[in-house]
Amino acid sequence: MQFTSDKAIYLQIKQLVMEKILREEWPADAKIPSVREFGSDIEVNPNTVMRAYDILQQDKIIYNKRGLGFFVSPDAIEIIKRERKQEFIHTDLPLLFKTMELLKIELNEIIQHYNDYKS
Amino acid sequence: MQFTSDKAIYLQIKQLVMEKILREEWPADAKIPSVREFGSDIEVNPNTVMRAYDILQQDKIIYNKRGLGFFVSPDAIEIIKRERKQEFIHTDLPLLFKTMELLKIELNEIIQHYNDYKS
Amino acid sequence: MQFTSDKAIYLQIKQLVMEKILREEWPADAKIPSVREFGSDIEVNPNTVMRAYDILQQDKIIYNKRGLGFFVSPDAIEIIKRERKQEFIHTDLPLLFKTMELLKIELNEIIQHYNDYKS
Amino acid sequence: MQFTSDKAIYLQIKQLVMEKILREEWPADAKIPSVREFGSDIEVNPNTVMRAYDILQQDKIIYNKRGLGFFVSPDAIEIIKRERKQEFIHTDLPLLFKTMELLKIELNEIIQHYNDYKS
DNA sequence: GTGGTCTAGACCACC
DNA sequence: GTGGTCTAGACCACA
Protein backbone atom coordinates (compact mmCIF):
# COMPACT_ATOMS: atom_id res chain seq x y z
CA MET A 1 0.00 0.00 0.00
CA GLN A 2 1.28 3.42 -0.97
CA PHE A 3 0.00 6.73 0.36
CA THR A 4 -0.12 10.17 -1.20
CA SER A 5 1.87 12.61 0.82
CA ASP A 6 -0.53 15.48 0.34
CA LYS A 7 -3.20 14.03 2.60
CA ALA A 8 -2.91 12.75 6.14
CA ILE A 9 -2.33 9.01 6.27
CA TYR A 10 -5.05 8.42 8.83
CA LEU A 11 -7.56 10.02 6.46
CA GLN A 12 -6.39 7.82 3.62
CA ILE A 13 -6.82 4.79 5.86
CA LYS A 14 -10.32 5.93 6.74
CA GLN A 15 -11.03 6.23 3.03
CA LEU A 16 -9.56 2.81 2.34
CA VAL A 17 -11.72 1.16 4.97
CA MET A 18 -14.85 2.85 3.67
CA GLU A 19 -14.11 1.66 0.16
CA LYS A 20 -13.62 -1.91 1.33
CA ILE A 21 -16.96 -1.72 3.07
CA LEU A 22 -18.67 -0.23 0.02
CA ARG A 23 -17.21 -2.99 -2.14
CA GLU A 24 -18.46 -5.48 0.45
CA GLU A 25 -15.02 -6.95 0.87
CA TRP A 26 -15.77 -6.39 4.54
CA PRO A 27 -19.49 -7.17 4.95
CA ALA A 28 -21.78 -6.07 7.77
CA ASP A 29 -20.84 -7.34 11.24
CA ALA A 30 -17.57 -8.78 9.98
CA LYS A 31 -14.48 -8.24 12.09
CA ILE A 32 -11.99 -5.88 10.52
CA PRO A 33 -8.25 -6.31 11.07
CA SER A 34 -6.88 -5.28 14.45
CA VAL A 35 -4.96 -2.03 14.58
CA ARG A 36 -1.70 -3.93 14.90
CA GLU A 37 -2.45 -6.37 12.11
CA PHE A 38 -3.67 -3.74 9.67
CA GLY A 39 -0.82 -1.48 10.65
CA SER A 40 1.79 -4.06 9.81
CA ASP A 41 -0.06 -4.94 6.56
CA ILE A 42 0.08 -1.43 5.23
CA GLU A 43 3.30 -0.53 7.01
CA VAL A 44 1.89 2.16 9.21
CA ASN A 45 2.12 2.69 12.95
CA PRO A 46 -0.79 1.12 14.88
CA ASN A 47 -1.48 4.50 16.51
CA THR A 48 -2.17 5.96 13.11
CA VAL A 49 -4.54 3.13 12.23
CA MET A 50 -6.19 3.64 15.59
CA ARG A 51 -6.83 7.26 14.77
CA ALA A 52 -8.65 6.27 11.59
CA TYR A 53 -10.69 3.60 13.40
CA ASP A 54 -11.55 6.13 16.09
CA ILE A 55 -13.15 8.47 13.59
CA LEU A 56 -14.91 5.64 11.81
CA GLN A 57 -16.35 4.62 15.16
CA GLN A 58 -17.55 8.16 15.86
CA ASP A 59 -19.25 8.12 12.47
CA LYS A 60 -20.89 4.83 13.48
CA ILE A 61 -19.38 3.11 10.48
CA ILE A 62 -17.64 0.54 12.67
CA TYR A 63 -18.27 -0.52 16.25
CA ASN A 64 -16.17 -2.06 18.97
CA LYS A 65 -16.61 -5.15 21.09
CA ARG A 66 -14.40 -4.85 24.13
CA GLY A 67 -11.38 -7.08 23.96
CA LEU A 68 -12.47 -8.54 20.62
CA GLY A 69 -11.91 -5.85 18.05
CA PHE A 70 -13.72 -3.64 15.56
CA PHE A 71 -16.66 -4.75 13.43
CA VAL A 72 -18.48 -3.32 10.44
CA SER A 73 -21.66 -1.59 11.49
CA PRO A 74 -24.84 -3.14 9.99
CA ASP A 75 -25.84 0.13 8.38
CA ALA A 76 -22.30 1.17 7.50
CA ILE A 77 -22.89 1.26 3.75
CA GLU A 78 -25.96 3.38 4.14
CA ILE A 79 -24.14 5.87 6.38
CA ILE A 80 -21.16 6.13 4.06
CA LYS A 81 -23.31 6.66 1.01
CA ARG A 82 -25.42 9.25 2.76
CA GLU A 83 -22.36 11.21 3.93
CA ARG A 84 -20.57 11.04 0.63
CA LYS A 85 -23.64 11.94 -1.39
CA GLN A 86 -24.18 15.02 0.73
CA GLU A 87 -20.62 16.07 0.13
CA PHE A 88 -20.85 15.24 -3.56
CA ILE A 89 -23.96 17.29 -4.16
CA HIS A 90 -23.24 20.23 -1.90
CA THR A 91 -19.48 20.53 -2.32
CA ASP A 92 -18.05 18.60 -5.25
CA LEU A 93 -20.70 19.41 -7.84
CA PRO A 94 -20.92 23.16 -7.17
CA LEU A 95 -17.14 23.30 -7.37
CA LEU A 96 -17.25 21.43 -10.66
CA PHE A 97 -19.83 23.78 -12.11
CA LYS A 98 -17.97 26.84 -10.93
CA THR A 99 -14.76 25.59 -12.51
CA MET A 100 -16.59 24.81 -15.73
CA GLU A 101 -17.91 28.34 -15.79
CA LEU A 102 -14.52 29.91 -15.16
CA LEU A 103 -12.82 27.77 -17.77
CA LYS A 104 -15.74 28.09 -20.16
CA ILE A 105 -16.16 24.34 -20.44
CA GLU A 106 -19.49 23.10 -21.77
CA LEU A 107 -21.46 20.14 -20.48
CA ASN A 108 -20.91 18.30 -23.77
CA GLU A 109 -17.24 18.07 -23.02
CA ILE A 110 -17.87 16.50 -19.64
CA ILE A 111 -20.20 13.93 -21.19
CA GLN A 112 -17.51 13.16 -23.75
CA HIS A 113 -14.94 12.51 -21.01
CA TYR A 114 -17.45 10.43 -19.10
CA ASN A 115 -18.01 8.15 -22.06
CA ASP A 116 -14.25 7.81 -22.52
CA TYR A 117 -13.91 6.93 -18.85
CA LYS A 118 -16.61 4.27 -18.94
CA SER A 119 -15.09 2.50 -21.93
CA MET B 1 -13.75 37.47 3.25
CA GLN B 2 -13.88 34.16 5.05
CA PHE B 3 -11.33 31.40 4.63
CA THR B 4 -11.71 27.70 5.08
CA SER B 5 -9.34 26.52 7.73
CA ASP B 6 -8.56 23.26 5.98
CA LYS B 7 -6.49 24.85 3.24
CA ALA B 8 -3.51 27.18 3.45
CA ILE B 9 -4.63 30.80 3.37
CA TYR B 10 -2.02 31.86 0.84
CA LEU B 11 -3.35 29.23 -1.56
CA GLN B 12 -6.89 30.50 -1.06
CA ILE B 13 -5.67 34.01 -1.84
CA LYS B 14 -3.93 32.77 -4.96
CA GLN B 15 -7.20 31.13 -5.99
CA LEU B 16 -9.11 34.32 -5.32
CA VAL B 17 -6.78 36.41 -7.46
CA MET B 18 -6.94 33.95 -10.33
CA GLU B 19 -10.72 34.01 -10.23
CA LYS B 20 -10.80 37.78 -10.34
CA ILE B 21 -8.54 37.69 -13.39
CA LEU B 22 -10.61 35.01 -15.11
CA ARG B 23 -13.77 37.03 -14.47
CA GLU B 24 -11.90 40.02 -15.92
CA GLU B 25 -12.55 42.04 -12.80
CA TRP B 26 -8.82 42.65 -12.99
CA PRO B 27 -8.04 42.93 -16.72
CA ALA B 28 -4.65 42.56 -18.42
CA ASP B 29 -1.99 45.05 -17.35
CA ALA B 30 -4.22 46.47 -14.62
CA LYS B 31 -2.64 47.18 -11.24
CA ILE B 32 -3.77 44.85 -8.51
CA PRO B 33 -4.02 45.95 -4.85
CA SER B 34 -0.81 46.25 -2.87
CA VAL B 35 -0.08 43.53 -0.34
CA ARG B 36 -0.89 45.92 2.50
CA GLU B 37 -4.12 47.14 0.96
CA PHE B 38 -5.33 43.70 -0.03
CA GLY B 39 -4.22 42.28 3.31
CA SER B 40 -6.27 44.77 5.28
CA ASP B 41 -9.25 44.23 2.95
CA ILE B 42 -9.41 40.54 3.61
CA GLU B 43 -7.99 40.71 7.13
CA VAL B 44 -4.88 38.73 6.49
CA ASN B 45 -1.26 39.37 7.33
CA PRO B 46 0.51 41.15 4.42
CA ASN B 47 3.26 38.53 4.56
CA THR B 48 0.69 35.91 3.70
CA VAL B 49 -0.60 37.97 0.77
CA MET B 50 2.98 38.45 -0.36
CA ARG B 51 3.46 34.73 -0.41
CA ALA B 52 0.51 34.34 -2.76
CA TYR B 53 1.75 37.15 -5.03
CA ASP B 54 5.17 35.53 -5.11
CA ILE B 55 3.81 32.31 -6.48
CA LEU B 56 1.55 34.10 -8.93
CA GLN B 57 4.60 35.95 -10.17
CA GLN B 58 6.57 32.71 -10.54
CA ASP B 59 3.69 31.34 -12.58
CA LYS B 60 3.93 34.53 -14.72
CA ILE B 61 0.30 35.34 -13.95
CA ILE B 62 1.24 38.71 -12.48
CA TYR B 63 4.36 40.82 -12.88
CA ASN B 64 6.05 43.46 -10.76
CA LYS B 65 7.19 47.00 -11.49
CA ARG B 66 9.59 48.06 -8.78
CA GLY B 67 8.13 50.81 -6.69
CA LEU B 68 4.79 50.69 -8.46
CA GLY B 69 3.23 47.38 -7.54
CA PHE B 70 1.91 44.22 -9.14
CA PHE B 71 0.12 44.04 -12.48
CA VAL B 72 -1.89 41.43 -14.33
CA SER B 73 0.17 39.70 -16.97
CA PRO B 74 -1.13 40.14 -20.56
CA ASP B 75 -1.41 36.40 -21.09
CA ALA B 76 -2.56 35.68 -17.54
CA ILE B 77 -5.90 34.25 -18.55
CA GLU B 78 -4.34 31.91 -21.04
CA ILE B 79 -1.83 30.62 -18.50
CA ILE B 80 -4.43 30.08 -15.82
CA LYS B 81 -6.77 28.28 -18.16
CA ARG B 82 -4.03 26.01 -19.45
CA GLU B 83 -2.92 25.04 -15.93
CA ARG B 84 -6.37 24.55 -14.53
CA LYS B 85 -7.70 22.66 -17.51
CA GLN B 86 -4.92 20.07 -17.23
CA GLU B 87 -5.70 19.55 -13.58
CA PHE B 88 -9.42 19.53 -14.22
CA ILE B 89 -9.29 16.87 -16.89
CA HIS B 90 -6.62 14.61 -15.48
CA THR B 91 -7.32 14.89 -11.75
CA ASP B 92 -10.69 16.39 -10.88
CA LEU B 93 -12.83 14.63 -13.47
CA PRO B 94 -11.49 11.08 -12.96
CA LEU B 95 -12.00 11.52 -9.22
CA LEU B 96 -15.53 12.70 -9.83
CA PHE B 97 -16.29 9.75 -12.06
CA LYS B 98 -14.88 7.34 -9.51
CA THR B 99 -17.13 8.79 -6.83
CA MET B 100 -20.11 8.54 -9.14
CA GLU B 101 -19.33 4.89 -9.66
CA LEU B 102 -19.07 4.15 -5.95
CA LEU B 103 -22.26 6.00 -5.14
CA LYS B 104 -24.04 4.60 -8.17
CA ILE B 105 -24.86 8.05 -9.50
CA GLU B 106 -25.83 8.26 -13.16
CA LEU B 107 -24.87 10.99 -15.58
CA ASN B 108 -28.51 12.01 -15.86
CA GLU B 109 -28.45 13.18 -12.29
CA ILE B 110 -25.42 15.38 -12.95
CA ILE B 111 -27.12 16.94 -15.94
CA GLN B 112 -30.18 17.58 -13.83
CA HIS B 113 -28.11 19.37 -11.17
CA TYR B 114 -26.30 21.30 -13.87
CA ASN B 115 -29.54 22.65 -15.26
CA ASP B 116 -30.65 23.61 -11.77
CA TYR B 117 -27.35 25.39 -11.25
CA LYS B 118 -27.56 27.35 -14.49
CA SER B 119 -31.06 28.61 -13.78
CA MET C 1 -28.96 -7.72 27.39
CA GLN C 2 -26.99 -4.83 25.97
CA PHE C 3 -23.83 -3.43 27.53
CA THR C 4 -22.40 0.03 27.31
CA SER C 5 -18.99 -0.14 25.80
CA ASP C 6 -17.56 2.58 28.00
CA LYS C 7 -17.52 0.49 31.15
CA ALA C 8 -15.97 -2.90 31.80
CA ILE C 9 -18.47 -5.66 31.13
CA TYR C 10 -17.64 -7.55 34.31
CA LEU C 11 -18.50 -4.43 36.31
CA GLN C 12 -21.79 -4.10 34.49
CA ILE C 13 -22.55 -7.73 35.29
CA LYS C 14 -21.69 -7.15 38.94
CA GLN C 15 -24.08 -4.20 38.90
CA LEU C 16 -26.79 -6.29 37.28
CA VAL C 17 -26.52 -9.02 39.89
CA MET C 18 -26.64 -6.53 42.74
CA GLU C 19 -29.75 -4.97 41.30
CA LYS C 20 -31.49 -8.32 41.02
CA ILE C 21 -30.66 -8.97 44.66
CA LEU C 22 -31.86 -5.54 45.77
CA ARG C 23 -35.11 -6.06 43.88
CA GLU C 24 -35.35 -9.45 45.60
CA GLU C 25 -35.63 -11.21 42.28
CA TRP C 26 -32.85 -13.35 43.70
CA PRO C 27 -33.66 -13.67 47.43
CA ALA C 28 -31.30 -14.67 50.22
CA ASP C 29 -29.76 -18.14 49.95
CA ALA C 30 -31.22 -18.64 46.48
CA LYS C 31 -28.99 -20.19 43.85
CA ILE C 32 -27.97 -17.83 41.14
CA PRO C 33 -27.32 -18.97 37.54
CA SER C 34 -24.07 -20.74 36.80
CA VAL C 35 -21.42 -18.77 34.95
CA ARG C 36 -22.08 -20.79 31.81
CA GLU C 37 -25.83 -20.40 31.96
CA PHE C 38 -25.74 -16.70 32.80
CA GLY C 39 -23.03 -16.15 30.22
CA SER C 40 -25.05 -17.65 27.43
CA ASP C 41 -28.16 -15.73 28.60
CA ILE C 42 -26.49 -12.37 28.28
CA GLU C 43 -24.11 -13.38 25.48
CA VAL C 44 -20.90 -12.89 27.37
CA ASN C 45 -17.87 -15.08 27.81
CA PRO C 46 -18.22 -17.26 30.96
CA ASN C 47 -14.78 -16.09 32.07
CA THR C 48 -16.10 -12.56 32.23
CA VAL C 49 -19.10 -13.64 34.28
CA MET C 50 -16.75 -15.54 36.56
CA ARG C 51 -14.75 -12.40 37.14
CA ALA C 52 -17.89 -10.59 38.30
CA TYR C 53 -18.88 -13.49 40.57
CA ASP C 54 -15.37 -13.53 42.01
CA ILE C 55 -15.62 -9.95 43.11
CA LEU C 56 -19.13 -10.41 44.43
CA GLN C 57 -17.83 -13.30 46.48
CA GLN C 58 -14.96 -11.21 47.82
CA ASP C 59 -17.50 -8.61 48.84
CA LYS C 60 -19.42 -11.40 50.59
CA ILE C 61 -22.49 -10.64 48.53
CA ILE C 62 -22.63 -14.18 47.19
CA TYR C 63 -21.06 -17.38 48.44
CA ASN C 64 -20.04 -20.62 46.83
CA LYS C 65 -20.85 -24.24 47.57
CA ARG C 66 -18.33 -26.42 45.79
CA GLY C 67 -19.97 -28.41 43.05
CA LEU C 68 -23.33 -26.75 43.56
CA GLY C 69 -22.89 -23.17 42.47
CA PHE C 70 -23.19 -19.65 43.80
CA PHE C 71 -25.81 -18.47 46.28
CA VAL C 72 -27.06 -15.14 47.55
CA SER C 73 -25.55 -14.26 50.88
CA PRO C 74 -28.11 -13.83 53.73
CA ASP C 75 -26.94 -10.31 54.45
CA ALA C 76 -26.30 -9.42 50.81
CA ILE C 77 -28.84 -6.64 50.72
CA GLU C 78 -27.43 -5.02 53.79
CA ILE C 79 -23.88 -5.14 52.45
CA ILE C 80 -24.85 -3.71 49.07
CA LYS C 81 -26.85 -0.92 50.59
CA ARG C 82 -24.08 0.04 52.97
CA GLU C 83 -21.50 0.18 50.17
CA ARG C 84 -23.64 1.98 47.69
CA LYS C 85 -24.98 4.48 50.16
CA GLN C 86 -21.49 5.58 51.12
CA GLU C 87 -20.60 6.10 47.49
CA PHE C 88 -23.89 7.77 46.78
CA ILE C 89 -23.60 10.33 49.54
CA HIS C 90 -19.91 11.07 49.38
CA THR C 91 -19.29 10.84 45.65
CA ASP C 92 -22.41 10.90 43.50
CA LEU C 93 -24.35 13.58 45.34
CA PRO C 94 -21.54 16.16 45.64
CA LEU C 95 -20.80 15.72 41.94
CA LEU C 96 -24.47 16.23 41.16
CA PHE C 97 -24.62 19.39 43.24
CA LYS C 98 -21.51 20.76 41.58
CA THR C 99 -23.04 20.22 38.16
CA MET C 100 -26.23 21.92 39.29
CA GLU C 101 -24.21 24.90 40.39
CA LEU C 102 -22.34 25.18 37.09
CA LEU C 103 -25.48 24.83 35.03
CA LYS C 104 -27.45 27.07 37.36
CA ILE C 105 -30.09 24.45 37.97
CA GLU C 106 -32.30 24.95 41.02
CA LEU C 107 -33.55 22.27 43.36
CA ASN C 108 -37.11 22.92 42.22
CA GLU C 109 -36.29 21.58 38.82
CA ILE C 110 -34.95 18.35 40.31
CA ILE C 111 -38.10 17.89 42.36
CA GLN C 112 -40.15 18.47 39.24
CA HIS C 113 -38.26 15.77 37.34
CA TYR C 114 -38.55 13.46 40.31
CA ASN C 115 -42.31 13.75 40.33
CA ASP C 116 -42.39 13.12 36.58
CA TYR C 117 -40.23 10.06 37.11
CA LYS C 118 -42.41 8.60 39.85
CA SER C 119 -45.60 8.93 37.85
CA MET D 1 -2.50 20.23 38.46
CA GLN D 2 -3.26 16.70 39.53
CA PHE D 3 -5.30 14.18 37.61
CA THR D 4 -7.42 11.27 38.73
CA SER D 5 -6.12 8.05 37.34
CA ASP D 6 -9.54 6.57 36.73
CA LYS D 7 -10.33 8.82 33.82
CA ALA D 8 -8.32 9.57 30.71
CA ILE D 9 -6.16 12.67 31.11
CA TYR D 10 -7.29 14.17 27.82
CA LEU D 11 -10.88 14.00 29.02
CA GLN D 12 -9.95 15.71 32.27
CA ILE D 13 -8.22 18.42 30.29
CA LYS D 14 -11.32 18.86 28.15
CA GLN D 15 -13.33 19.18 31.36
CA LEU D 16 -10.87 21.66 32.78
CA VAL D 17 -11.04 23.88 29.72
CA MET D 18 -14.82 23.81 29.71
CA GLU D 19 -14.93 24.84 33.35
CA LYS D 20 -12.56 27.75 32.72
CA ILE D 21 -14.83 28.88 29.91
CA LEU D 22 -17.96 28.50 32.03
CA ARG D 23 -16.31 30.52 34.81
CA GLU D 24 -15.37 33.12 32.17
CA GLU D 25 -11.71 32.91 33.08
CA TRP D 26 -11.31 32.45 29.34
CA PRO D 27 -13.92 34.71 27.73
CA ALA D 28 -15.31 34.49 24.21
CA ASP D 29 -12.80 34.94 21.38
CA ALA D 30 -9.88 34.94 23.82
CA LYS D 31 -6.82 32.95 22.87
CA ILE D 32 -6.31 29.88 25.01
CA PRO D 33 -2.82 28.59 25.83
CA SER D 34 -0.95 26.80 23.06
CA VAL D 35 -0.70 23.05 23.35
CA ARG D 36 2.94 23.32 24.32
CA GLU D 37 2.42 26.07 26.87
CA PHE D 38 -0.59 24.43 28.50
CA GLY D 39 1.15 21.08 28.39
CA SER D 40 4.14 22.33 30.29
CA ASP D 41 1.87 24.18 32.76
CA ILE D 42 0.00 21.07 33.77
CA GLU D 43 2.92 18.74 33.13
CA VAL D 44 1.34 16.75 30.37
CA ASN D 45 2.59 15.88 26.93
CA PRO D 46 1.52 18.38 24.24
CA ASN D 47 0.04 15.53 22.20
CA THR D 48 -2.35 14.77 25.03
CA VAL D 49 -3.39 18.41 25.27
CA MET D 50 -3.84 18.41 21.51
CA ARG D 51 -6.20 15.48 21.75
CA ALA D 52 -8.40 17.43 24.16
CA TYR D 53 -8.31 20.57 21.99
CA ASP D 54 -9.18 18.45 18.97
CA ILE D 55 -12.39 17.24 20.56
CA LEU D 56 -13.26 20.70 21.84
CA GLN D 57 -12.86 21.97 18.30
CA GLN D 58 -15.12 19.24 16.94
CA ASP D 59 -17.71 20.27 19.50
CA LYS D 60 -17.29 23.87 18.26
CA ILE D 61 -16.34 25.00 21.75
CA ILE D 62 -13.03 26.37 20.52
CA TYR D 63 -11.84 27.30 17.03
CA ASN D 64 -8.50 27.59 15.35
CA LYS D 65 -6.78 30.36 13.46
CA ARG D 66 -4.01 28.90 11.35
CA GLY D 67 -0.61 29.65 12.75
CA LEU D 68 -2.04 31.67 15.62
CA GLY D 69 -3.62 29.22 18.01
CA PHE D 70 -6.94 28.21 19.51
CA PHE D 71 -9.65 30.63 20.56
CA VAL D 72 -12.83 30.37 22.63
CA SER D 73 -15.87 30.12 20.40
CA PRO D 74 -18.35 33.00 20.83
CA ASP D 75 -21.18 30.64 21.72
CA ALA D 76 -18.98 28.24 23.68
CA ILE D 77 -20.82 28.71 26.96
CA GLU D 78 -24.15 28.09 25.34
CA ILE D 79 -22.92 24.91 23.67
CA ILE D 80 -21.36 23.56 26.85
CA LYS D 81 -24.44 24.24 28.89
CA ARG D 82 -26.72 22.69 26.30
CA GLU D 83 -24.60 19.54 26.10
CA ARG D 84 -24.19 19.16 29.82
CA LYS D 85 -27.84 19.82 30.54
CA GLN D 86 -28.88 17.13 28.07
CA GLU D 87 -26.58 14.69 29.80
CA PHE D 88 -27.73 15.80 33.22
CA ILE D 89 -31.40 15.36 32.49
CA HIS D 90 -31.28 12.22 30.39
CA THR D 91 -28.43 10.36 32.06
CA ASP D 92 -27.45 11.68 35.47
CA LEU D 93 -30.92 12.30 36.85
CA PRO D 94 -32.50 8.97 35.80
CA LEU D 95 -29.49 7.22 37.32
CA LEU D 96 -29.95 9.20 40.51
CA PHE D 97 -33.61 8.31 40.75
CA LYS D 98 -32.96 4.66 40.01
CA THR D 99 -30.33 4.51 42.74
CA MET D 100 -32.67 6.24 45.17
CA GLU D 101 -35.30 3.65 44.41
CA LEU D 102 -32.94 0.73 44.90
CA LEU D 103 -31.54 2.12 48.13
CA LYS D 104 -34.97 3.27 49.29
CA ILE D 105 -33.82 6.85 49.75
CA GLU D 106 -36.51 9.50 49.91
CA LEU D 107 -36.38 12.91 48.28
CA ASN D 108 -36.32 14.57 51.70
CA GLU D 109 -32.93 13.12 52.35
CA ILE D 110 -31.56 14.56 49.12
CA ILE D 111 -32.92 17.97 49.97
CA GLN D 112 -31.28 17.71 53.37
CA HIS D 113 -27.90 16.97 51.80
CA TYR D 114 -28.41 19.77 49.31
CA ASN D 115 -28.94 22.29 52.08
CA ASP D 116 -25.87 21.02 53.89
CA TYR D 117 -23.88 21.38 50.67
CA LYS D 118 -25.03 24.94 50.05
CA SER D 119 -24.08 26.10 53.50
C1' DG E 1 5.81 31.24 17.24
C1' DT E 2 1.48 28.11 16.10
C1' DG E 3 -1.01 23.52 15.01
C1' DG E 4 -0.73 18.86 12.82
C1' DT E 5 1.01 14.37 11.80
C1' DC E 6 3.63 10.35 12.54
C1' DT E 7 6.62 7.01 14.82
C1' DA E 8 8.38 4.06 18.40
C1' DG E 9 7.74 2.22 22.43
C1' DA E 10 5.67 1.65 26.77
C1' DC E 11 1.94 0.24 30.02
C1' DC E 12 -2.73 -0.93 31.23
C1' DA E 13 -7.37 -3.10 31.45
C1' DC E 14 -10.17 -6.23 29.35
C1' DC E 15 -11.80 -10.67 27.07
C1' DG F 1 -5.15 -11.72 21.85
C1' DT F 2 -7.83 -6.88 21.70
C1' DG F 3 -8.30 -1.62 22.20
C1' DG F 4 -6.84 2.63 24.76
C1' DT F 5 -3.80 5.99 26.67
C1' DC F 6 0.37 8.38 27.21
C1' DT F 7 5.09 9.91 26.39
C1' DA F 8 9.07 11.50 23.92
C1' DG F 9 10.78 13.10 20.06
C1' DA F 10 10.81 14.14 15.34
C1' DC F 11 9.43 16.73 11.12
C1' DC F 12 6.48 19.74 8.47
C1' DA F 13 3.62 23.70 6.83
C1' DC F 14 1.88 27.89 8.08
C1' DA F 15 1.57 32.99 9.90
**Per-residue pLDDT tens over the stretch B62-105:** 999 988 999 999 999 999 999 899 889 988 899 899 889 888 89
Residues C40 and C84 in one domain: no
Residues B88 and B57 in one domain: no
H or E element at residue C21: helix C9-22
d(CA C56, CA D44): 37
Residues B69 and B58 in one domain: yes
Is the distance from CB of A62 to CB of A53 less than 8 angstroms?
yes
A89 inside domain: yes
pLDDT of residue A81: 94
Q: For nucleotide F14, give the residue with the nearest CA to its C1'.
A: D67
C3 inside domain: no
B3 inside domain: no
C1 inside domain: no
At A97, is the secondary structure helix, strand, or coil? helix
| Orientation angle between helical segments C93-103 and D76-87, nearest 10 degrees | 140
Nucleotide nearest to C10 (CA to C1'): E14
Residues A93 and A43 in one domain: no
Yes or no, beta carbons of D64 and B5 under 8 Å apart: yes
d(CA D81, CA D85): 6
C53 inside domain: yes
Low-confidence ranges of chain A (pLDDT < 50): none
pLDDT of residue A85: 93
Residues D41 and D95 in one domain: no
CATH code for position D61? 1.10.10.10
What's the pTM value of the predicted model, to 2 decimals?
A: 0.85
Chain A residues 41-100 with Cβ under 7 Å of strand F are: 47, 50, 53-54, 57, 64, 67-70
A1 inside domain: no
D67 C-beta less than 7 Å away from strand F: yes
Yes or no, beta carbons of D105 and C88 under 8 Å apart: yes
Q: What is the mean pLDDT of residues C39-59?
A: 92
Half-sphere CA count of D60, side-chain side, radius 13 A: 7
Residues C17 and C54 in one domain: yes
C2 inside domain: no
Residues A26 and A70 in one domain: yes
Residues C54 and C93 in one domain: no
Q: For D73, left (φ over 0), alpha (ψ -120 to 50), or beta?
A: beta
Residues D51 and D103 in one domain: no
> Which chain C residue has the Cα nearest residue D90?
C113
- The number of distinct structural domains making up chain B is 2
Residues C85 and C47 in one domain: no
Full residue range of the structural domain in which residue D104 is found: 77-118
Nucleotide nearest to A3 (CA to C1'): E6
Residues D87 and D63 in one domain: no
Residues constituting chain C: 119
SS3 content of chain B, % helix, strand, coil (to 5): 60, 10, 30
C5 CA, E12 C1': Å apart = 17
pLDDT band, very low/low/confident/very high, at B4 (cuts 50, 70, 90): confident
D1 inside domain: no
Residues A25 and A50 in one domain: yes
